[in-house]
Structure 1
Amino acid sequence: MVSYISQLTSKSAGRFNFKGMAAIAPDLFLWGGAWAASLMVFTEGWPRFQSTLYEKIPYFGQHWVDNTPAEDKPN
């Protein structure tokens, strides 16, 4: 006969509470910032990301605007 367990028996799941989340929040912000920075580094040369995201960043967006005259472009 099969017996079913009605509750989670693993203690590794733990409980989510404010104190526990407040303790790991700085680490989550640090790793989230590192993830966002690495995403920006790896996608900086992609034209679609340049026109969609990076050109719209205030003050720094002008770095990705292409001001090359049409006669100097290879197309």
Structure 2
Amino acid sequence: MATRITHKYNPTFSGFSRQVLLRWAPNLGLWGGAIGVGALFLLEPIPRVQNVILSKLPILGDYWVRPIDPADSPF
């Protein structure tokens, strides 16, 4: 009696199966968050980063708001 061979379709993304991606997702998420926080820490002195990103943080945003003195304003 011959055994019948059946094929199952196992989708992959760049050679990684769904189980491997789900197992690595939390670790990669933590590393990505740490890299993002580190990038903001290094880019903090740039005024555009202060105005566009850091000043809009919910609790800490007031630290980066720098009002311009009316005497220094050219208008």
- TM-score normalised per structure 2: 0.65
* Larger Rg computed on CA atoms: 2
Q: State the distance in 1 between where 2:48 and 2:15 align.
A: 42
Percent identity, aligned pairs only, is: 32
Q: Specify which structure has the higher proportion of helix.
A: 1
Aligned to 2:65: 65
Gaps of 5+ in 1: 1-13
Aligned to 1:16: 16
Q: Specify which structure has the higher proportion of strand.
A: 2
Q: RMSD value over aligned CA atoms? A: 2.0
Gaps of 5+ in 2: 1-13
- TM-score normalised per structure 1: 0.65
Q: Does 1:55 align with 2:49?
A: no
What is the CA distance between 1:31 and its match in structure 2?
Answer: 0.9
Q: Does 1:40 align with 2:45?
A: no
Provide the secondary structure at the position in 2 that maps to 1:28. Answer: helix
